[in-house]
Amino acid sequence: MFIPSAQNPILAAGLTLLASAFVAGTTLLAKMLGTHELGPPLNPLQISQGRFIFALLAFGCTAWILRLRFTDIAWPTHTLRVVCGWGGVTLMFAAATFIPLSDATAISFLNPVIAMLLAVPLLNERVGPIRLTAALIAFTGAMILLRPTPEAFQPAALFALGAALALGFEVIVIKRLAGREGPMQILLVNNVIGVVISSVAAIAFWIAPTPEQWLALAGIGFLMAAAQACFINAIARADASFVGPFFYATLVFAALYDFIWFDIRPDTVSVIGATIIMCGAGLLAWREARLRPSGDTRA
């Protein structure tokens, strides 16, 4: 795809909002596939496989049209990244089947905080008081959403927590890929490896989808591909620190889709927990933006 270098923050914000709507849409379709909405429920592993297959189809066609030329591919790093991403996506799809989309989405937004904490032992980065405060705020919100009481505990929310952990580790791996390969190559290789891993994992659980389920699986793959394309183009037109906060609109879209399709309204606990997580993630995003010019990592 062609990505112009001209900076356009307004367009970048619009593309990020569009990407967030697409990402929330993939979670909605995964929830429909994991319940009885479109036929016999599909296992999250099979849903994840469909996501990679159809996303690969989209990126493969794009690469063919653009006559993409490959540079040296860091296969081990790509494979590690895909394992983390595949695990995170699969756990997210599993969580969305059992709990409100807004809860699953909010908990998954812990991934930048987890990435920050993992960067300490893995990238030798420092975590100062502001970053640590942001992490504590976000984790407090997550604990509220988990509803850790015998009467209200949501075991399925642990899937979303696992998704956040896997996706947070993926961010660390992506940092090692950044600047080494082109974005289109990264996306294509990511989905090639993802198809292999997800297909092997789904063999034991695979059942023949209904025509409606095939359409939903295709929708997940193409929506995810569209979301990634929008986000990459947004990053090309504005700083990541500017674009990042707009992606939190995914939570709004998830709640909206849940209300339209399943008539599920976020309760008070969900609103409070999600708001706290957003505050923690927002504080972290603000601090990262402040650190970028100076390179100081001690805050």
Q: What is the pLDDT of residue 47?
A: 97
CB 207 within 8 A of CB 42: yes
Q: Is residue 224 part of a domain?
A: yes
pLDDT of residue 282: 77
Q: The tokens 């509803």 sit on which residue?
A: 147
- Total domains in the chain come to 1
**Residue 172 forms part of a structural domain:** yes
What b-and-e string marks burial along 84-95, b requiring 16 or more CB atoms within 10 Å of the CB? Answer: bbbbbbbbbbbb
> Does residue 4 fall inside a structural domain?
no
Q: Domain containing 198: what range?
A: 9-294
pLDDT at 4: 42
- Whether 3 maps to a domain, the answer reads no
Please work out, in degrees rounded to the nearest 5, the angle formed at the alpha carbon of residue 214 by the alpha carbons of 197 and 44: 45
Residues with pLDDT less than 70, the chain = 1-6, 148-153, 178-179, 239-242, 244-245, 288-299
Alpha carbon distance 265, 263 (integer Å): 6
For residue 89, what pLDDT is reported? 93
pTM for the model stands at 0.83
Is the residue at 1 inside a domain?
Answer: no
Q: How far apart are CA 71 and CA 283, in angstroms?
A: 37
Is 94 within the bounds of a domain?
Answer: yes
> Is 173 part of a structural domain of the chain?
yes
Contacts of 4 (CB under 8 A, 6+ apart): 236, 237
| Closest C-alpha among 184, 228, 190 to residue 19 | 228
